[in-house]
Structures are given as structure tokens and as C-alpha cells.
Amino acid sequence: MIIDASTYIGHWPFRRLRYNTAEGLVTLMDRNGIDKAVVSSINAVFYKNCQEGNEELAEEIEPYRDRLIPFATLNPKYVAWREDLERCVKDLGMKGLRLYPLYHNYGLLERESRELLSEAAKMRLPIEIPVMLVDPRQHHWMDVDRTLPLNQILETAKRHPENVFIVLNVKDVSPIIEGEQPVPKNVYVEMSRLTAVLTKSIQALISRIGVERVVFGTGMPFHYAKPALLKMEILDIEEEAKEAIYWKNIAKLLGLNVD
């Protein structure tokens, strides 16, 4: 069983993506042996009113509900996000949130963010935060030109122990591995951009926060799935620990019954 914690569908304004429909994503999942995937709408990142992107997502994945697990994109600084949150969870069956502080121009420590996190905690919704969508070294002139500092997420997690945070698409985990402060227990890390050989950042991360807080992801369709799968394949850890990363950890966070 493999569950991908990091996939998307929708239009990316700055490069032509392939396989960026629900059908296309499932094609990639089948090709790569991935059973289920957490998915959100790229459109929702760019619409002022994110909710229309969430509505599109729910509609498009309807035939694939057994494979695709929708996460809502919300902007706590945009009007009526509480109503959108309720609609996403109660009517559209969304299982978590994806937040984009850089794209939506807010800080995770601001009042509106705190309110959103508080509501998400009440609903037991995990929060996924991609520190970047594409590598900023190649950003389009209208795109965000930096990554979200991991320390901002760690500080937010420390102040919101009732929430679960899953960090996506992160390459540099040194604030976690080398930080002097204990890593908040509610922080999970998706492994697709880390390494299993040479610098061995996956192993370093496991040593620091435990295998139960590392989850598998690919970043499809922005990224090829094979690099992440290859890292898992050659990772020098017990099979049981691999199973935890491949699916058990995320299944637990999502309350999935997949045994």
C-alpha cells in the first residue's frame, strides 16, 4: 500500500503541466503503483476566492473518491473562510487543509491564521503546508520568488499543539535536524525532496523526529514520482519502518481504515 501525501490537480499558470486532471493523476498513480493520494486544487491557489477551486476539485475527483483524498485550500485573510471551511468539510468531504501563506500574502502567526488553525483543530483536520510549489530558482517573473521558512512552520506548530502540520516539498530540513529546540511533536515531514544516500537527510530526519512522523509524497504532477519511490526503495531502514512512511503514518492522521 502506498499513499501519496502530496499531489495536485489544476492549471499551473507558469508552465504547461501534464496529467493535471483527476484522470491524469490517477493514470500517474497507476503507472507508479500508488494506491491513494491527498490532492488539492492548483486553481484554488490563484483564485482570489479559493472556494471556487475547492468546488472544482470536489466535482472533478468525484469518480475517483476511493483513490483521491481532497484537501481544501483556504485563505484566512479572505472573506467568509469559515463558511467555506464548513462547506468543504461537511458537504464536499475534504479531509484536511492546504495553506499557502506566501501565495496568499499572510503570515502563519497572524491573528487570522490563528483563528483558522483553531477551527481546523476543532474539526481534527491535518494542515499541509508546501514550502514551495516550484523551485524558486526557476520562478516565473510573476510567481513567488522564495520558499516559506521552515522555522515559521515550527514556531506555528509550537504555538498550536492541537493542530497537526505536514510539511510538503521541503529540501532543507536543517532547522529540524540541527535545531537546538525540541521539534514540536505535531510536525510531520513529507520526504520527496530529501535524500536516502550521501547526505542521507531522510535517515537524519528519522533519527531526530522518529519514523512515525515521516510521510511519503511525490509532488505529482509537478514532479516525477520515480525519484521519491527510488529513495524509498534504497532507503536502509526496516521494512516495517518503510510501511509506516509509505502509508501507515498518513492513514492514521487521516483516520483512514485501510487494513
Partner 1 sequence: MKKIDAHCHVARRSDGSSRGWTNADLVEAADKLGIDKLLCSTPVSGGQPTMDVVRKCNNITYEAMKEYPDKILGYAFVNPGYFTESIEEVERCVKELGMIGIKLYNQYRADEPVVLPLIRKAAEMQIPVLWHAGHPPSPEEALRWGQPRISDGVHIAALARKVPDAILIHGHIGGGGDWEWGIKALRNVPNVYVDTSGSVVDEGMVEMCVKYLGAERVLFATDLSMEAGVGKILGADLTDEERELIFWKNMDRILRRRKV
Q: What is the CA radius of gyration of the chain?
A: 17
- The answer to whether residues 227 and 190 touch, using CB atoms and an 8 Å cutoff, is no
Is residue 256 within the footprint of partner 1 (CB under 8 A)?
Answer: no
Is residue 145 within the footprint of partner 1 (CB under 8 A)?
Answer: yes
| Residues linked to residue 40 through DSSP beta bridges, in sequence order | 8
Q: Which of 83, 227, 238, 258 binds partner 1 (CB under 8 A)?
A: 227
CB-wise, 77 or 200, nearer to partner 1?
200
Least CB distance from residue 21 to partner 1, whole Å?
14
Is residue 93 within the footprint of partner 1 (CB under 8 A)?
Answer: no
Q: Taking Cα atoms as reference points, which of 28, 105, 96, 83 lies closest to residue 57?
A: 96
Q: Which stretch binds partner 1 (CB under 8 A): 33-41, 86-94, 156-164, 223-231?
A: 223-231
Q: Which of 9, 228, 244, 254 binds partner 1 (CB under 8 A)?
A: 228
Look-up: residue for cell 520568488?
A: 145
Stretch 171-190 residues interacting with partner 1 (CB under 8 A): 171
Is residue 87 within the footprint of partner 1 (CB under 8 A)?
Answer: no
Is residue 141 within the footprint of partner 1 (CB under 8 A)?
Answer: yes
Q: Which of 108, 220, 245, 253 binds partner 1 (CB under 8 A)?
A: 220
What's phi and psi for 166, nearest 5 deg?
A: -115, 120
Torsion of CA 169, 97, 189, 34, to 10 degrees: -70
CB-wise, 132 or 250, nearer to partner 1?
132
112/244 Cα distance (integer angstroms): 34
169/130 Cα distance (integer angstroms): 6
Is residue 195 within the footprint of partner 1 (CB under 8 A)?
Answer: yes
40/84 Cα distance (integer angstroms): 15
Is residue 197 within the footprint of partner 1 (CB under 8 A)?
Answer: yes
Instruction: Build a one-symbol-per-residue string for 16-55: x at contacts with partner 1 by CB under 8 A, - elsewhere.
Output: xxxx------------x-----------------------
Using alpha carbons, list the distances in angstroms from residue 232 to 9, 41, 200. Answer: 24, 26, 12
CB-wise, 141 or 257, nearer to partner 1?
141
Sheet holding 127-130, edge to edge: 3-9, 36-41, 68-73, 96-98, 127-130, 165-168, 187-190, 214-215
In the structure grid, which three cell numbers stand for residue 56, read together? 472544482
CB-wise, 204 or 241, nearer to partner 1?
204
Least CB distance from residue 183 to partner 1, whole Å?
21
Q: Which of 36, 98, 160, 193 binds partner 1 (CB under 8 A)?
A: 193
Footprint on this chain of partner 1 (rule: CB under 8 A): 15-19, 32, 134-135, 137-141, 145, 171, 193, 195-199, 219-231, 234
